[in-house]
Amino acid sequence: MPYFDAASSAPLHPVARQALLAALDEGWADPSRLYREGRRARLLLDAAREAAAEAVECRPDELVFTPSGTRAVHDGIAGALAGRRRAGRHLIVSAVEHSSVLHAAAAHEADGGTVTEVPVDRTGRVAPGAYAAALRDAPGGVALACLQSANHEVGTLQPVAEAAEECAAADVPLLVDAAQSLGWGPTEGNWSLLTASAHKWGGPAGVGLLAVRKGVRFRAVQPADERESGRSPGFENLPAIVAAAASLRAVRAEAAAEAERLRGLVERIRARVPELVPDVEVVGDPERRLPHLVTFSCLYVDGEALLHELDRAEFSVSSGSSCTSSTLTPSHVLRAMGVLSEGNVRVSLPPGTAEADVDRFLEVLPGVVAGVRERLGAPKPAEAADPAAPEPEPEPELVVDSLGKRCPIPVIELAKVIGEVPVGGVVTVLSDDEAARLDIPAWCEMRGQTYEGERPAERGVAYRVRRRA
């Protein structure tokens, strides 16, 4: 069964498996002890730290291992904020950061700090100079800025080097979440702190990296002990750490060739999906992106049903759609980009993905989408474009009551009635589904109609759409 969700967790690399099994035999002792078994464990830990630091391009004594990538993010942000409390209590993040960063920002606000979210364009990329502007306009002293190296949902690469220069000019450290990109190469720029997660590159789950450059003010906020420089207390999971470092070195050695191969497969998906499936929006930067990841959204499709049908066809993918069982609101990434969220599919290919599996995915996808649309009663492309169809007597304005209905139903009902008003007429959609706030404007953008905004209604929100075509 093709697994196309490497951005969530990559399959365990063979080198990681070998290193894990070997370390279970050799690295079970306490590396802080001076007897033979302890010294052997310490040698394994030191070697793993040196290998990971080489990949990160930092000094070994600047890097610690944490129990997860999320823990690395939380500890990194909290430690930098605490260490620079005298400089200020303002935090800058991008609007498309991983939820672990945004949760840490929310905790900082709850503790009395302030936060600026830097917006992105429709490709999901922070604009050049955006961090300089955020630093300049901050309401108080800035303690820390955060920027991911690459987006986890749409694959867009961020201008980390430029943002690092802007932060350095303001004497503000920059924390980079490199979870999605570290397996493909080092992070460019003069960053101050860096975090990553081993299971994203084919290492075992339960190992994160936190690098803090020398000279960065940092104070661990949790009770410290003698392990991991006091920044990640508790007994190290040495076998997993050894496997994580070994697999990072292995995937880096394979990265250049595999990136070129996977980029070709992803390019095929990006080009063919809009040709094979009507009413699809491929999102993310088409050029400055991760080599293995592509995201697209399908109009008039229930995201949960689409994922289930693809799973039945033996394809494992993920989604940022609001109509999946794991979430009730659209992905914050898609919302910040202002793109369609319904029927969202993220395909992230693990190393070794076969070309035949991608070809079969492209064969299966059109029928799966068509089947879901038919069950939902979505309008067919021919219905909207048939010039021979009799024109109904137009109404100057219509109201569509979609209260209590979840995505993609409000957009489907809008699409069905837009032709019943004359060009220049208005359709008002009443909806209490949060996804409508994103998907109705996105539908207008895709279908050439004019979105005139929203206003509060007695129940829910009224969205106004003026027919332009």
Q: What percent of the chain has pLDDT over 70?
A: 95
Q: What is the pLDDT of residues 172-204, one digit of tens each?
A: 999 999 999 999 999 999 999 999 999 999 999
Averaged pLDDT, 63-88: 97
Query: Strand 63-66 and strand 208-212: pairing?
Result: antiparallel
Q: How far is CA 307 from CA 282, 313, 325, 341, in A?
A: 17, 10, 10, 14
Q: What is the pLDDT of residue 224?
A: 75
Give the distance from CA 329 to its chain's centroid. 15
Are 438 and 335 contacting, i.e. CB atoms less than 8 angstroms apart?
yes
For residue 327, is pLDDT > 60?
no
Q: What is the pLDDT of residues 52-73, one digit of tens each?
A: 999 999 999 999 999 999 999 9
Q: What is the pLDDT of residue 387?
A: 54
CB atoms within 10 A of CB 154: 30
- pTM value > 0.75: yes
91: Cβ–Cβ under 8 A, 6 or more apart, which residues?
A: 77, 81, 105, 108, 113, 114, 115, 116, 142, 143, 144, 145, 146
- Mean pLDDT, the chain, as a whole number? 93
Averaged pLDDT, 160-180: 97
Give the distance from CA 80 to its chain's centroid. 23
- CA-nearest of 68, 79, 77 to 241 is 68
Q: What is the pLDDT of residues 380-408, one digit of tens each?
A: 764 444 555 565 566 688 999 999 998 89
For residue 213, is pLDDT > 50?
yes
Q: What is the pLDDT of residue 228?
A: 80
- CA-nearest of 303, 192, 302, 182 to 245 is 182
193: Cβ–Cβ under 8 A, 6 or more apart, which residues?
A: 76, 80, 173, 174, 175, 176, 210, 211, 212, 213, 216, 218
Between 320 and 283, residue with greater pLDDT: 283
- Return the amino acid letter for 94: S
Distance CA 193, CA 315 (A): 37
Choose the catalytic residue: 58, 146, 298, 323: 323
- CA-nearest of 303, 338, 337 to 321 is 303
| Helix (H/G/I), strand (E/B), else coil: 332 | helix
323: annotated active-site residue:
yes
For residue 39, is pLDDT > 70?
yes
- CA-nearest of 288, 287, 254, 265 to 347 is 265
Peptide bond into 408 cis (omega under 30): yes
Distance CA 81, CA 103 (A): 14
